Structure 1
Amino acid sequence: MVAFVKWFISSLNASYSRRVPKGEWEKKPYNPVLGEQYMMKWGDVAGCGETDVLVEQVSHHPPITGFYITNKQNGISLNGHTGQKTRFSGTSLLVDQVGQSVVTLHNRNNERYMFSCPSVTVNGIWYAAPYVELAGTSYIQSTSGLYCTIEYSARGWVTGAKNRFKCYVRRNGENPKNYICKMEGQWSGKSTITQHGAKHSEPFLDVAQLTPAPMIVKDISEQGEMESRKIWQKVSEAIRANDSTLAGVEKSKLENQKREEKAAREAAGQTWEPNYFSWNAEEPTVVELQHKLTEEVKNKYSPATSGNWVFKGAL
């Protein structure tokens, strides 16, 4: 569980901090079209082997993304989905990430870890300098009988460090005060770990010392028609050329095409189905781990569903 938390915290930095070049602000993302796909590999680092990534937009309204990530050399797979519920609060945009993911350690008797994602707060919108902070609580529940609560806090108005988190590892069925260990610090920087009852903490993670795996993506000429870079190629080229008018025209063409396809399906009485994922409303592992977690944290954890978008060709 400690190793899993270390990976999870490092993934937060990669997802919400490191991807934004220093000195720049968040950019408005493309709005994925139904069935859009993204495929790539993370290259080998320190003999860990390649990691394959497959992502598909399985719903447009509401927006939901299914994903499957696997490292066959080490017998690890991740299958999950995420959707967004967005609202404004004052001058900030609040994004609740709905969904759950399951990591399976196939070489450890299929030991599984279910986790939820934190909420995202986008600040600085009104003065054209948007930046992301994490908020709320995310949870990890393992089939091994351990669970975690990870609480996020933002920088204070006057003082305080940004991107802070505090994580407690506990055993199911025991008094929550008797936690095993506590990790805390900055998910975008350094953090420490303290064993229960210990007077001193030890270094836990310094994301600046990590070596990012190289991204391996096929050339656009080798990609399928539904892959992200192929779908958005003309829009991206116009943006890189600083031609906002052409970018808008190409974006409208794509959106109108997708509306026409939707209308044609409805007229023919056809239901669209994802290529790579299928919805299981009562996915057994999710049901089991949600039940374990709910018994511990009660009404603090209230997932929208007990299902998952399951990859059809899972390891």
Structure 2
Amino acid sequence: MAESLQDAIHHGSWSSFLRLRSDLFPVIADAKGNEARALAVLRWFISMLKDQYTSRNESMGSEQIPLNSALGELFYGYWPDQNNRGRTTLLVEQVSHHPPITAYVIENKSKGLKLVGHNAQKISFSSGSIIVRQIEHATLSIGDTKYLITLLGGSTPKEQVVEGLWHERSKFTKGPHASSSTGDFHDVVSKSKEIITAVGGEKDGSQGEYETRRLWNLVAKAAEERKSQLKHFKKYELDPIYEKLGKLARLTPPEEDYYEFLANWPESLRVRENGFNWICWLHT
């Protein structure tokens, strides 16, 4: 069982930090007017960037990486009501293993806020570079207003490129985007390149007995042979909100699928007086 919030929801690249700033998320609903609210969304959105999986874990001196979780894995949790910000509840489900796709919902009922989205990664190699293509977006609902948030990629094709040979000083680029049904949108682009590190494999290049890829080959094989039914989400091939709002910023691709939350929150969320409380287990 995980020992912290970061461990509990770390298995998706973006869902691992979408709500770590619990002070900025609820105040979005308190903003007056479309422009002020769009800026509040932008402020919360930018606050997430520091903790994405390419950022350095300062306490441990290492990089965060997305974990390829087992199909059907579930994480539940909540942030308690403090300073009149309301209780915020989290639900994460691994809805696919190949490719790895994580669906999530974050809701603050007292503020009328709900964020529903999913993320996935497809990795390819080209000319000595590793190309990670993000297939993901989220919809933030505040009453009747919808905000479409593309998580990494912006208005350009959603690809992140690790340039050059894979070594301890490879480079990484990014560029997210957000738009809303009120007509306000922002393109957040990082001009600088972050340094990432990676260590793995044997000295001769072979895979060790407990090397990650070898272990996950066995997990992937077992996942393919197992029929798993989604517990909290239903997949649709087209997202009408993405298609509508994506036209405002000319997003690429113009269409994406989405996972609808079935609004079936578990009744077994434990209650703790102080701090964040979470429950996680493997759904079979």
Q: Classify the TM-score, shorter chain.
A: 0.5 to 0.7
Q: Cα distance, 1:18 vs. partner?
A: 6.8
Cα pair distance change 1:133/1:91, threshold 3 Å = same
Specify the code of the residue in structure 2 equivalent to 1:149. Answer: D
Aligned to 1:138: 176
| Counterpart check, 1:38 vs 2:83 | no
Contact 2:71–2:223 (CA under 8 A) maintained in structure 1: no
Q: After TM superposition, give the deviation of residue 48 of structure 1 in Å.
A: 1.1
Whether 1:263 and 2:225 are equivalent positions in the alignment is yes
Equivalent residue for 1:147, pick from 177, 185, 208? 185
Question: Which residue in 1 is equivalent to 2:256?
Answer: 306
Select the residue among 288, 294, 307 that pairs with 2:244.
288
Letter in structure 2 aligned against 1:113: Y
Read off the aligned partner of 1:30 and give its amino acid letter: L
The aligned amino acid for 2:253 is P
* TM-score, length of structure 2 as denominator length: 0.61
2:140 is aligned with 1:83: no
1:112 Cα deviation (Å)? 0.7
1:257–1:93 CA distance, 2 compared to 1 (3 A): closer
Work out which of the residue numbers 113, 136, 139 in structure 1 matches 2:147: 113
> C-alpha distance in 2, partners of 1:81/1:7?
18
Q: Give yes or no for contact 1:64–1:84 (8 Å, CA) kept in 2.
A: yes
Which one-letter code corresponds to 2:135 in the other structure?
V
Structure 1 unaligned regions, length at least 5? 156-161, 164-244, 266-271, 295-300
SS in 1 for 2:63: coil
Seq. identity, %: 26
1:68 to 2:102 alignment: no
Residue 31 of structure 1 aligns with an amino acid whose one-letter code is: N
1:261 to 1:81, Cα distance in 2 relative to 1, 3 A = closer
Q: Deviations over 1:194-246 (max 9, x none)?
A: xxxxxxxxxxxxxxxxxxxxxxxxxxxxxxxxxxxxxxxxxxxxxxxxxxx99
1:58 aligns with 2:95: yes
How far residue 312 of structure 1 moved from its aligned partner, in angstroms, is 0.8
**Which of structures 1 and 2 has the larger relative contact order (alpha carbons within 8 angstroms, sep 6+)?**
2
RMSD: 3.4
Bigger helix fraction: 1
The answer to whether the 8 Å contact 1:88/1:94 transfers is: yes
- Equivalent residue number for residue 281 of structure 2: none
Q: Indicate conservation of the 8 Å contact 2:247/2:254, yes or no.
A: no
Aligned pair 1:277/2:239, yes or no?
no
Distance 1:90 1:50 in 2: 48
User: In the TM superposition, what whole-angstrom CA distance separates every residue of 1:238-296 from its partner, at most 9, and x where no partner exists?
Assistant: xxxxxxx99669x94x864663464364xxxxxx43111111223332222123332xx
Displacement after TM superposition at 1:311 (Å): 0.6
* Partner Cα distance (2:147, 2:134) in 1: 18
Structure 1 Cα separation of the partners of residues 254 and 100 of structure 2: 14
